[in-house]
């Protein structure tokens, strides 16, 4: 997991080949006008999911992981509260991994909550169980999905 400000995003462009395009989208796109839903950046290799929504609160936020994509969760306005733990320490729900939606949910509760305020991002890799939308407030955020299989 990486947590930082968009102002420092250039520090991370060498971590993965798709991060540069993802951070360019966040830096150069008028995010305050981005509608809810999927916005292609590079086909299915990189895309943005826009959402303006009320959070679920920490009691209802659920741990999840992804196997095909890395999440760059960026807060446009408001503040999200995202739970985190190591995926290897979490217990999957009986439903297991949904390959079509690239998500697996877990029964555990986060012990660590990270406030991701406006202008900040958190990057979650497959080994990072994360529980987004732990806030009780309205939040406008963009999730950049970057495929792991870059070739």
- Are residues 121 and 35 in contact, defined by beta-carbon separation less than 8 angstroms? no
- The superfamily CATH assigns to domain 2-147 is YhcH/YjgK/YiaL (2.60.120.370)
Quick: pLDDT tens for 46-99: 999 999 999 999 999 999 999 999 999 999 999 999 999 999 999 999 999 999
Q: How many CA atoms lie within 13 A of 43 on its CB side?
A: 4
Could you state, in order of their start, the residue ranges of all structural domains in the chain? Answer: 2-147
User: How much is the pTM?
Assistant: 0.96
């Amino acid at each position: 997991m990486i947590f930082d400000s968009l102002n420092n995003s250039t520090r991370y462009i060498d971590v993965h080949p798709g991060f540069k395009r993802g951070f360019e989208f966040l830096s150069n796109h008028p995010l305050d006008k981005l509608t809810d839903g999927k916005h292609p950046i590079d086909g299915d290799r990189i895309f943005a999911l826009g959402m303006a929504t009320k959070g679920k609160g920490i009691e209802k936020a659920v741990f999840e992981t992804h196997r095909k994509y890395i999440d760059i969760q960026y807060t446009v306005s408001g503040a999200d509260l995202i739970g985190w733990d190591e995926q290897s320490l979490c217990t999957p729900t009986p439903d297991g991994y949904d390959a079509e939606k690239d998500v697996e949910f877990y029964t555990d509760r986060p012990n660590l909550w990270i406030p991701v305020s406006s202008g900040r991002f958190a990057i979650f890799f497959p080994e990072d169980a994360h529980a987004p939308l732990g806030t009780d407030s309205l939040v406008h955020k963009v999730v950049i999905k970057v495929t792991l299989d870059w070739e």
